[in-house]
Structures are given as C-alpha cells and as structure tokens.
Amino acid sequence: MPIAKKNTELTKRITEKLGVKNNTARVYASLIKQMWLRMSKEATHQNMPADMAFLKTTKMKSYVRGIVNLTRRKNHANAAVAALKMVTDEKDVHKQEYRDIMMAADKDFQKFLLSGKRQRSFKNAEASWEIVKNAHKKVARVLNLEGIWREGEHVDHTQYKKLMAFIYFKWLADTSPRRLEYTDTRFVAADEYRKLTEEQKDKSNWVVMDKVWTWEVRKYKTRSTYGPVSIKIGRGLKAALRKILPITSAKNAQKFIFLNSKWRRLGRNTFSTYIKNWFKTYVRKPWTQNTVRSIRVSALYKDAPKTIDMLKLASEMGHDVSTQLLHYRQEEHGTTTVRTV
C-alpha cells in the first residue's frame, strides 16, 4: 500500500503564495506542522489555523529560540518566516523577530566554529579518505561471491541494494563527493539529452553517454548560486555504470539508478539512510554523506593552517575564508605566498 503524502494542501499553498520550489515548500510545511503540534495537546494535523496566528505567540517564539541544535533552530525560524509571509505584510513585527532568531543562530554557529570544539566521527582524515575510496572493493567481493551480477535483470531488490552500494562507493572513489544528487541521476544517450529543453534537463541529474561520459548535475541544493555542473566520468566509474545499465533499464523505464523496492526513484531521505547502513555494513563506520564530504575536505586541507586560526584571521581582517583563498593566497611552484594589497 503506498504511503500517503503529508501536508499536501499546506505545501501547495506555500508554493502558490511564495513561488518556491515544491521540495522547499514541503520542508517548510513539515516544520510548520511540527511547531503547531507543539502548541497544545489539542493540536492535530487537521485543526491547524490557516491564519498562522500560533506563530505570533510568545510561547512559540520561545520554543524556537530555545532549540539547542543551531541548524534546527535556524530552519524552524526560516519556516516561521515563510508561513507568516503568506498571511501578513512585509513589515510584520513577528517576521522580524523570527529573522532575528535566524541571525542569532548564525552568530552562535560562528562562535561554535571558533571555539574549536567541533567533534567529528573520524580522527585521521587521510586514512579515512582511503577507507572511503576503497570501500567499493569490499562490495565487489560480496557481489562476486553471491553471483549477483550473473542474475542480471532478474535481481530482487535486496540484491539490487548491493549493486547500488557498489555504484555509490565507486562514485565516491572517482569523483568529489556531492550531497544526495546521486538519487536524482538517470542514464540518457547523448543525442536524447541534446534534444531536451533546459527546463526538462533541470528536472533531473544525468549520466550522459557520449564519446566522453559526463555527469550533468543540474538539480541540487546550491544550484541557484553555482549553476549546472558537468563532471567527467572516469574509466573506473564508467565501467561500473555500463555494467549496471541493462539492469537499471529493465527495472525503471526512466533509467534512474538508485531505486526503491517498487523500482521507482529512491527518495533522498531513504537514500541517506541507505548510505549510513552501507558504511556500517561494509567498513564498520558510523558515517553519513556529510561525514564523507567533511573527510574529503579535511584530507585536502591537511597541510593548511588550523581552521580556527583561519576563521579568527578572517574575522579580524573583516572578510571570509573564501576571500583569503581567492584573493590573498597564491600558489607558486608548490609553495604558498601571500599577496599584500
């Protein structure tokens, strides 16, 4: 039995009123409902007031302001602002109070970074990155021992999950780790891809099978800032993708690679859970995609100054770290010099 979608009416209302994407509206709707259900024992999913008046109460503002996790606090405040935008004018004092909570959360997060107390689930970034890069080899042994490749398009979903684990780890070994864009990725022939409109291309991410295979990443969190990204697919990942292509094509007409038990595109939340389980199963590590991204960056910056020193310097100089790297730090013949401006 399919799971019923939640908050559909509120999601639709937010999308229409604010003009945001459906995924963003769904997140806002979920957080707004969470805040409403905390108001009283009588609060239910069905009786939430359309005027969002509960967000204007001292009780609700105190609740959001008191959320310990800084990211959750900021997200809840952001959702409250979105809800109030639907029912109030731009100068509404309540929206400004939630904006102040958001700004305070940002400041607290910067203090948290500067404190040097941020904990990670890994110790040695270089060694950890080697574990990530070699994880696909462990899955490959399992696939060979169990003869899963020989099953071809007849694999069941339990077997296909192991194939997905192999492809996922192979992807990490051959390209820089993204967020969860993998689950929106599908195969497409080069001539078919060129016939698509820009709007059609933006609805998915694509493994474009041309003379040189590329991963066209067009649907991701910071797309509005960085635009579409084209990543060349190396020989190892290409061989793995070519091997799973006929199986994927048989299971899903749209050729999405990461699939649920009904052979439909895997949702991002479920994919995130799969990633945690794969790391526990194959490398005995409690890692998530965010952890993998942190490991990669930490390994790359192993010889750089301490993060706390870089942040402290940026704060004292009145710019951010990216300004240091782009405008002040200069690489010359393997050494680093600093420009004076």
Please state the three-class secondary structure of 94-140 as a single string: HHHHHHHHHHHHHHHHHHHHHCCCCCCCCCCHHHHHHHHHHHHHHHH
Of the pLDDT bands very low, low, confident and very high (cuts 50, 70, 90), residue 55 is very high
Contacts of 77 (CB under 8 A, 6+ apart): 64, 98, 99, 101, 102, 105
Of the pLDDT bands very low, low, confident and very high (cuts 50, 70, 90), residue 2 is very low
Q: What pairs with residue 265 in β-bridges?
A: 259
Of the pLDDT bands very low, low, confident and very high (cuts 50, 70, 90), residue 329 is low
**Strand 205-209 relative to strand 229-232, pairing:** unpaired
What is the pTM assigned to this prediction?
0.68
For 136-284, list the strands marked E by DSSP: 185-189, 205-209, 214-217, 229-232
Q: What are the pLDDT digits (tens) for 95-123? A: 889 989 988 887 777 766 666 555 677 88
> Among all chains, which residue has been given the structure tokens 């008191």?
66
CA distance 327 to 333: 18
Q: What are the pLDDT digits (tens) for 144-198? A: 999 999 999 999 999 999 999 999 999 999 999 999 999 999 999 999 999 999 9
